Amino acid sequence: MTASRRGLALLVVPVLLALGACSRGPSYDEVEACNRVHAWDAGGREADGLERAAARAREALEGAAGSRLASAAEQLADGDATDAASRAEAFLAACRDLGWDLPEG
């Protein structure tokens, strides 16, 4: 390896590591919250199920101080049954923005 390539590698590797650290993805608590709302969304959207899913999502996020999903979880619980699906979709969109993927299975 030439000196210029070695120098370039020494410059590029730390930059890539720093960028990787910035995009760490969702925490375990955030994944739990997203999975709970997704379960309601994929499981038939029972009328009172979103309230339970929202409560469980907020409960999961209690361990994630300053979570990026906390305000989305609060909005999830606000509203009536007619816009439940759109509120759930907005929450799941916030989950996907964090890097959450659908659970396997």
State which amino acid sits at residue 9. Answer: A
What span, in angstroms and rounded, lies between the C-alpha atoms of 105 and 100?
15
Query: What is the domain partition of the chain in residue ranges?
Result: 28-98
Instruction: Return the top range by mean pLDDT from 58-62, 74-78, 98-102.
Output: 98-102
The confidence score (pLDDT) of residue 44 equals 86
First to last CA, the chain: 46
39 to 28, 45, 53, 77: CA distances (angstroms):
16, 9, 8, 16
Find all residues with CB under 8 Å of 97, minimum gap 6, and list them: none
pLDDT digits (tens, 9 = 90+) for 21-37: 455 788 888 999 999 99
Question: In the chain, what is the greatest distance between 2 CA atoms, to the nearest angstrom?
Answer: 66
pTM over 0.75: no
Note the pLDDT tens digit of each residue in 11-69. 555 555 544 445 578 888 899 999 999 999 998 888 788 888 889 888 888 876 667 78
